[in-house]
Amino acid sequence: MSEAQADSGGARHGFRIDIKSVGPMIALLLLCILGYVLNPAFASEGNLTNILTRSAFIGIIAVGATFVITAGGIDLSVGSMAAVISGVMIITMNSAIDTFGPGLTTVLLGCGCSIILGLGAGMINGLLTTKGKIEAFIVTLGTMGIFRSLVTYFADGGTLALDFGIRSVYRPVYYGDFLGLPIPIWVFICVALVGWFLLNRTTFGRYCTAIGSNEGVAKYSAVNVDRIKTMTYVIQGLCVSLATIIYVPRLGSASASTGVLWELEAIAAVIIGGTVLKGGYGRIGGTVIGALILTTIGNILNLTDLVSNYLNGTMQGLIIIIAVWLQRGPWQKPASSQT
Amino acid sequence: MLDQTGAQAPVLEAANISKSFGSVPVLFSLSMDLRPGEVHALIGENGAGKSTFMKVLAGFHQPTKGRIKLDGREIALPPNGEAEALGVVLIHQELNLAEQMTVEENVFLGREMSRFGVLDRVSMRRAVQRYLDQVGLSISPTDRVSDLSMAEKQMVEIVKAISRDARVLIMDEPTAVLTEVETQMFFDQVNQLKARGVSIMFVSHKLAEVEAIADRITVLRDGHWITTATATDLTTESMAQLMVGRELSDLYPPMNEVDVDAPAVLKVDDLTAPGCDGISFSLRKGEILGFSGLVGSGRSALFQALVGLNPSTAGQITYNGQSFRPTSVAKARDAGIVYLTKDRKEKGLLLGQQMAPNLTLLALSKFSGPLGVDRKAEGAAMTRATRRFDIRAKTNETLVGNLSGGNQQKLLLAKVMEADPQVLIVDEPTRGIDVGTKQQIYHFLAALALEGVSIVVISSEMPEIIGMSHRVVVMREGKIAGTLSGDEISEQEIMRYAAGLKNGSEA
């Protein structure tokens, strides 16, 4: 009995994995075809580069979120974290001009500051969750509010603008090319590759999956659960700081509305990509595609007047729900038949 | 047991039941009947089809072929537990209680009493109190289920069934997680229910219990009906033979004496940790040391402290002649001390993952190189373990949750062995697995001891402790009550220490 069922269970799972890895890819392809049919300008080189560049922010953050979610956590603070990091970066660089002048040193100082803040903020989220034994949802809901109000305070309710002298030095980080591709795309590619390797090929990634599947088993298997979980939040923080570094030169400013709802877009990208929200199974490749899908929807709405651009959120919401429905869709039999 | 039920018409009757999942046949034309007020045991090895058969009898599975009669009338039992309304209740092995709700709320879940649209808590509480009094359970209707012991939870399930006027109670391994004392308490309830005319059918791997409580016994093997006999006609020996279908000689391997001059590998002095207090014992190279005692006597707590799962607050551990402080599981593992948990589903294995990641999880650093985790080495380890431990799965992609209990346990054993332990601590190593797999595990442990690995066996099954151990430590209320060796090791002697009738020497 058990062997027969084991067999069918295995086959069923294999099938589901296939759907999970191929499904998002097919969805993205269909979206691209739809975009091209509605407006051939969609497939122009400029537009495709534009989509990739824009998805880099959410994509980089979502790669970090893949680790947090795979290990059974959640980080709601990433949008606010990006905002407060942008704010502090701008303040730092503006005040460093007096000492170092509007040059590379100042920009590097700002970037260093961003990375330290990202790592620190991630560390705080992680330690409060693990050592403080507070649910990740509550911790990051709290820090989300704190970070958001901090940036409002720093900007005094208005906008923090980067000094024009530095803008010209810093500008290439967003607008510059390397081997024909904009810098943000390169950063995105690197982050995704490193993330894929970490999650799929290292003990750290395996431990994340184990913790997300069953923390008790991980603990009994000599996994330092607290350290690994904290590390996922630190990685998330680092990803946010990298995304911020390429985001700041785009607008050259930060305000209370910077990065609003990024946390939801990042989580959405992760889930659309096939990572399981309750942890234990994560896919970096899926996350990348998830981020591309979200950006592509917005882009198609911009290029056509079929649906109002104001309904962008509606379309994204629908895609998220459909994606998850497809993943645990009707072909999956209830678990009770397996026992 | 007296057979007073012989002449009565059966309550529930199954005739030529066959069941297939897809194209895979699982049950082959099984027939049996359940008489009013009888206790009927269903035994067989893991994978014999017991659970499937029970689910068919309770309506959770529909038979592919065959008929079910209730009170002599042919009936198609409704699915999803709706057969409860007809008085047929299945109590699952994994109990089906809402942990965060109270006893009263659980008993009345889904059919709450109400007055004027508001819950009538007073009446419900009174009713539940009456049921609890009937079964002699000293808990309150307002107790939260999560605060109860396993045995009490089981009783709450039974109370729930009684409150629904169950006439047929089908139980999947009700005693698997109960201690001996709790089991006795459970048997008293069964006898009371029986006296009231309730028919009880249950699965158990503990043959001595089956002999003690059952009126009739049905044996299944590989989905086939083998026999139904009155309990008085069978001995535990003949039951085991019928289940396995071959002569079951040597359940326990021959005992090899430990070398007289074998060094003490592990020496524990006055260890105090949450759940245990002032523990001292020593373990020699190649020795199998049994730890007996009631559940909650601190056996697991002691060894969880020893492998760094819990912090110890006082005491001294000497390992290989050096002072040893287990500050983490990883440190204990690196030193060569590993612990096989008794809770393989919650603490042992990742049920949603394949076998290889489970196998290597404890010793993963061993498989990690400059290019990350070496999947080839993992595959090779999996092949080795499959052969060494006789793990039977259709493919390597099979999810661990879909393996039978016995194969899961062998995988768990393979997992801890990947860490190459010098001291192996196994906690209830054969819980809920069939007799054939038990035998394999016993022989494996004995062979390991012969190679010089020191083994601690924690078990609530006395025959296992007695059949395997060179010496036996009995614990009681967090302390060592006594240590037995040689001819002193007997069930009565262990019970005397475990129950507090005797208190004595230290190991």
Quick: pLDDT tens for B79-103: 877 788 888 988 887 778 888 889 9
Percent of all residues in chain B with a pLDDT value above 90, rounded to a whole number: 44
Is the pLDDT assigned to residue A147 strictly greater than 70? Answer: yes
Q: How confident is the model at residue A194 (pLDDT cuts 50, 70, 90)?
A: very high
**What gap in Å lies between CA A87 and CA A110, rounded to an integer?**
10
| pLDDT value for B4 | 47
Q: Choose among B52, B347, B352: nearest Cβ to A216.
A: B347
User: A41 lies in a domain?
Assistant: yes
Cβ–Cβ below 8 Å for A10 and B398? yes
Cβ–Cβ below 8 Å for A1 and B52? yes
User: A13 lies in a domain?
Assistant: no
**Residue B273 phi, psi dihedral angles, 5° rounding:** -150, 170
| pLDDT value for A20 | 60
CA angle B496, B500, B502 (to 5 degrees): 55
User: A3 lies in a domain?
Assistant: no
Residues of B in contact with A209 (CB under 8 A): 353, 357
Q: Choose among B328, B393, B415: nearest Cβ to A224.
A: B328
User: A16 lies in a domain?
Assistant: no
Cβ–Cβ below 8 Å for B394 and A217? no
User: What's the DSSP call for residue B400?
Assistant: G
Please indicate whether the domains covering B12-244 and B264-498 agree at the CATH topology level: yes
A190-204, B170-184, B432-446: which range is least confident on average?
A: B170-184
Give the residue from B413, B470, B421 showing the smallest Cα distance to B291: B470
| pLDDT value for A189 | 97
Interface probe for A, chosen from B26, B90, B364 (most Cβ of A below 10 Å), is B364
Residues of A in contact with B22 (CB under 8 A): 8
Percent of all residues in chain B with a pLDDT value above 70, rounded to a whole number: 96
Is the pLDDT assigned to residue B128 strictly greater than 50? Answer: yes
| pLDDT value for A9 | 39
Cβ–Cβ below 8 Å for B309 and A220? yes
Identify whether the C-beta of residue A1 lies closer than 8 Å to the C-beta of residue B52.
yes
Q: Which CATH class is domain B12-244?
A: alpha beta
Cβ–Cβ below 8 Å for A222 and B397? no
- Does B181 or A35 have the greater pLDDT score? A35
* Start-end of H helices in B343-473: 355-360, 375-389, 405-417, 435-450, 462-468
- In angstroms, the separation between the Cα of residue A324 and the nearest Cα of chain B is 19
Identify whether the C-beta of residue B64 lies closer than 8 Å to the C-beta of residue B19.
yes
**Exposed/middle/buried for residue B307 (C-beta within 10 Å: 0-12, 13-18, 19+):** buried
Q: How confident is the model at residue A18 (pLDDT cuts 50, 70, 90)?
A: low
Identify whether the C-beta of residue A47 lies closer than 8 Å to the C-beta of residue A53.
no
Cβ–Cβ below 8 Å for A217 and B361? yes
Residues of A in contact with B304 (CB under 8 A): none
Q: What is the ipTM of this complex?
A: 0.83
Q: What is the CATH number of the domain that holds A51?
A: 1.10.3470
* Topology of domain B264-498, CATH: Rossmann fold (3.40.50)
Cβ–Cβ below 8 Å for B346 and A213? no
Q: Choose among B49, B352, B365: nearest Cβ to A213.
A: B352
Residues of B in contact with A15 (CB under 8 A): none
User: What's the DSSP call for residue B126?
Assistant: H
**pLDDT (tens digit, 9 = 90+) per residue, B219-257?**
998 888 999 999 899 888 888 888 877 655 578 888 888
- In angstroms, the separation between the Cα of residue B62 and the nearest Cα of chain A is 12
Residues of B in contact with A10 (CB under 8 A): 394-395, 397-399, 402
Range of the domain at A153: 21-329
Cβ–Cβ below 8 Å for B309 and A224? no
| pLDDT value for A217 | 95
Q: Name the residue type at position A133.
A: K
Interface of A with B (CB under 8 A): 1-10, 13-14, 197, 200-203, 206-207, 209-210, 213-214, 216-224, 280-281, 336-339
**pLDDT (tens digit, 9 = 90+) per residue, A300-318?**
888 887 778 788 888 888 8
Identify whether the C-beta of residue B58 lies closer than 8 Å to the C-beta of residue B77.
yes
Q: Dihedral (C-alpha) B232, B237, B238, B240: value to the nearest 10 degrees? A: 120
Question: How many residues are listed for chain B in this entry?
Answer: 507
- Does B93 or B167 have the greater pLDDT score? B167
Query: How many domains, chain A?
Result: 1
Q: Choose among B26, B362, B402: nearest Cβ to A6.
A: B402
Q: Choose among B22, B372, B415: nearest Cβ to A8.
A: B22
What are the angstrom distances between the C-alpha of A192 and each of A64, B202, B353?
Answer: 9, 54, 24
Q: How confident is the model at residue B434 (pLDDT cuts 50, 70, 90)?
A: confident
**What's the whole-number mean pLDDT along residues B133-145?**
84
**What gap in Å lies between CA A248 and CA A107, rounded to an integer?**
11
**pLDDT (tens digit, 9 = 90+) per residue, B202-211?**
988 788 888 8
Residues of A in contact with B415 (CB under 8 A): 221
| pLDDT value for A1 | 38
Cβ–Cβ below 8 Å for B350 and A1? no
Cβ–Cβ below 8 Å for A203 and B373? yes
Question: Would you state the structure tokens that stand for residue B370, as one six-digit string?
Answer: 């400059």
Question: Would you state the structure tokens that stand for residue B44, as one six-digit string?
Answer: 């067989």
**What gap in Å lies between CA B84 and CA B66, rounded to an integer?**
21
Q: How confident is the model at residue A222 (pLDDT cuts 50, 70, 90)?
A: very high
CA angle A324, B402, B243 (to 5 degrees): 155
Task: Return mean pLDDT, chain A.
Answer: 88
User: A336 lies in a domain?
Assistant: no
**pLDDT (tens digit, 9 = 90+) per residue, B449-506?**
999 999 999 998 888 898 999 999 999 889 999 999 988 888 888 888 887 777 765 4
Q: What is the DSSP string of B223-255?
A: TEEEEEEEGGG--HHHHHHHHHSS----SSPPP
| pLDDT value for A6 | 38
**What gap in Å lies between CA B198 and CA B134, rounded to an integer?**
14
| pLDDT value for A333 | 42
**What's the whole-number mean pLDDT along residues A178-186?**
92
Residues of A in contact with B399 (CB under 8 A): 6, 9-10, 13
Most confident of A106-120, B183-197, B259-273: A106-120
Residues of B in contact with A194 (CB under 8 A): none
**What's the whole-number mean pLDDT along residues B43-47?**
77
Question: Would you state the structure tokens that stand for residue B133, as one six-digit string?
Answer: 């009094």
Is the pLDDT assigned to residue B448 strictly greater than 70? Answer: yes
**What's the whole-number mean pLDDT along residues A5-30?**
61
**pLDDT (tens digit, 9 = 90+) per residue, B333-380?**
999 999 999 999 899 999 999 999 999 999 999 999 888 899 999 999
| pLDDT value for B151 | 78
**What gap in Å lies between CA B154 and CA B160, rounded to an integer?**
10
Is the pLDDT assigned to residue B259 strictly greater than 50? Answer: yes
Pairing state of beta strands B314-319 and B322-323?
antiparallel
| pLDDT value for A3 | 39
User: A211 lies in a domain?
Assistant: yes
| pLDDT value for A19 | 59
**pLDDT (tens digit, 9 = 90+) per residue, A126-140?**
999 999 999 999 999
Cβ–Cβ below 8 Å for A3 and B404? yes
**What's the whole-number mean pLDDT along residues A64-85?**
97
| pLDDT value for B252 | 87
- Does B5 or B355 have the greater pLDDT score? B355
Cβ–Cβ below 8 Å for B398 and A9? yes
Interface probe for B, chosen from A2, A12, A201, A339 (most Cβ of B below 10 Å), is A2
